[in-house]
Amino acid sequence: MPRPIILFDLDGTVIDSTEAILESFRVAFGQFGHMIPADESIKNEIGDTLENMFLTLGVDSKKVDEHVQAYKMYYRTIHCQKTYLLDGARDAIKKASRFATLGVVTTKTGKYSREILEHLGLMNYFEVLIGREHVTHPKPDSEPILKALENIEHNRNRVWMIGDTPMDILSANNAGVNSVAVTSGYASYQELEKCASQICDNILSAVNFIQNSVENYK
């Protein structure tokens, strides 16, 4: 039987890059003379694509691309030094790697995600990384998860997605795999309980839950 597979979201699940994200949005809005949205308004959209975030925050659809590029130009200069591991994340990933094959599925740019994980000394634990540029339809569509699984032998019943937003959980539901929501990130418990059957406080608790599920499945 193939090993279990655990796919991790990044922002709010494994890492806290809030400072870098907020700063990059301020720079992008300021560059084009816009009023800068409140931090909470930006944080409420984290987990969605940059394109959708700028649209929701009031940028005209014809100007979204230039805002995204301005964001990325600045973000790439600060993303490593202003991104931090969430409590227990390193231990959780190391523990998960002992009984499962690991991957990352994020709406973050894959290039920057890889650089962050390499900077944090964690990239070597992951078999696959799917970022925004690797798919046509990002989460909550099933495509990112299905793409991550393409070249990994797996049993669909033994695949889990861990994430902190409804988009992560809905993507897992749409892909027909298991999911665990964590409250360490950007969505509230009330938002998560509408779509998630299992909710944990953090990534380490989520990994422990999956390990118990794997052992019970044998």
> Which two structure tokens, joined as six digits, stand for 151?
């070249």
> Which two structure tokens, joined as six digits, stand for 208?
């422990």
Q: What are the helix and strand counts (H, E) for the chain?
A: 10, 8
| 125 close to 151: Cβ distance less than 8 angstroms | no
Amino acid identity for residue 175 in this structure:
A
| 166 close to 188: Cβ distance less than 8 angstroms | no
Provide the H-helix boundaries in the chain.
Answer: 18-31, 39-43, 50-56, 64-78, 89-97, 110-119, 143-149, 166-175, 189-193, 203-217
Active site residues: 9
Residue 155: what are its φ and ψ, rounded to 5°? Answer: -110, 120
